[in-house]
């Protein structure tokens, strides 16, 4: 019995296979292999195409992308509301509303911004290309008039009160209904505790601007005094240090756009995306001061799309 089964199996195996069946089996095997090969090749091709798209972007295009990241067309909105801050600055004589109207109602959204000086406002403080001048001046007024440990005990007073009136942030303030030194650290627009004053000082010491080598704890220019004003308002409202640095990075970016686009290019060359940069690091002396900005400028020199202008303290 076993012999017969073995004989039949041998005949089946030795029997010639029709050509059509060989072709069909071969074709099916080839198609299956080719299909698998196709998907593998397609996956690799898409991967390489993605890499190619990244590496073949022109430097000019990359710089433009970074500009949009640093200076969003939508601007930047802080977590802080205006409340009655603008009205208080007018009442304190830090801002002369008529002088403001003469300057800002003809600029961008100036008429819209002026409402923040009239009463209680639930609008959030924001900065963009069209209102950056309004913001630096308004926060400058706050930093100047607010009773401050930084102003009373810091570098601004190292040569006495008479000399303190000769800085750009004091002698340059002409938009109040009172003189700059009459306003200087004169009123508690914001009621800060001793601990909060110390926190303001601590943060201010770590925030620099690219027009000079001084920190915000030595606010001898308009941007420094404006940054001090924002820190005071933010600390009063209970913002975290991390959030305050993030907000100030946005303000500085719109106040010194060239410097911060260059900084974004610099970090991109190091493999760090702008949104991943630590704001505290970006605002430090190594990056945000005049010396730091110059170092960054030299590092990105020659990159197409980078302009050669520098930042300044013009309002």
pLDDT of amino acid 303: 86
Instruction: Report which of residues 24 and 284 the model is more confident about.
Output: 284
Question: How many C-beta atoms surround the C-beta of residue 26 within 10 A?
Answer: 10
Asked if pLDDT for residue 178 goes beyond 60, the answer is yes
Tokens of 148: 């401050």
Q: Domain residues of the chain, as ranges?
A: 74-255
Residue 205 neighbours by CB under 8 Å, 6+ apart: 215, 216, 217
For residue range 108-135, what is the model confidence (pLDDT) as tens digits? 677 889 999 999 999 999 999 999 999 9
Q: Which of 217-221, 253-257, 299-303 has the lowest mean pLDDT?
A: 299-303
pLDDT of amino acid 26: 42
Instruction: Report which of residues 110 and 241 the model is more confident about.
Output: 241
For residue range 24-78, what is the model confidence (pLDDT) as tens digits? 444 444 444 444 443 443 344 334 333 433 544 677 888 889 999 999 999 999 9
Contact assessment for residue 210 and residue 290, using Cβ atoms and an 8 Å cutoff: yes
Output the DSSP codes for 29-89: HHHHHHHHHHHHHHHHHHHHHHHHHHHTS-HHHHHHHHHHHHS-TT-EEEEEEEETHHHHH
Question: How many C-beta atoms surround the C-beta of residue 38 within 10 A?
Answer: 10
């Amino acid at each position: 019995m076993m012999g017969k089964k073995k004989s039949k199996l041998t005949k089946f195996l030795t029997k010639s296979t029709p050509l059509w069946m060989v072709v069909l089996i071969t074709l099916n095997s080839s198609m299956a292999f080719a299909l698998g090969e196709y998907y593998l090749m397609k996956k690799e091709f898409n991967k390489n195409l993605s890499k190619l798209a990244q590496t073949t972007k022109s430097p000019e295009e990359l710089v433009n992308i970074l500009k949009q990241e640093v200076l969003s067309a939508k601007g930047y909105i802080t977590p802080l509301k205006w409340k009655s801050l603008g009205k208080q600055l007018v009442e304190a004589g830090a801002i002369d509303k008529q002088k403001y109207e003469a300057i800002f109602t003809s600029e961008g959204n100036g008429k819209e911004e002026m409402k923040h000086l009239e009463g209680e406002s639930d609008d959030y403080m924001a900065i963009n290309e069209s209102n950056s001048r309004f913001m630096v001046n308004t926060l400058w007024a706050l930093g100047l008039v607010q009773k401050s440990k930084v102003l009373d005990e810091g570098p601004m007073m190292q040569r006495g009160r008479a000399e303190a009136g000769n800085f750009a942030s004091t002698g340059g303030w002409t938009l109040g209904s009172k003189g700059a030194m009459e306003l200087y650290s004169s009123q508690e627009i914001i009621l800060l505790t001793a601990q909060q004053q110390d926190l303001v000082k601590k943060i201010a010491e770590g925030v620099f601007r690219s027009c000079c080598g001084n920190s915000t704890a030595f606010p001898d220019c308009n941007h420094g005094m404006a940054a001090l004003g924002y820190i005071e308002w933010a600390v009063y409202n209970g913002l975290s240090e991390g959030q305050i640095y993030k907000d100030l990075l946005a303000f500085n970016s719109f106040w010194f756009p060239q410097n911060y686009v260059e900084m974004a290019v610099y970090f991109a060359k190091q493999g760090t995306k702008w949104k991943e940069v630590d704001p505290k690091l970006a605002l430090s002396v190594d990056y945000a001061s005049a010396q730091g900005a110059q170092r960054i400028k030299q590092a990105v020199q020659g990159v197409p799309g980078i302009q050669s202008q520098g930042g300044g303290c013009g309002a």
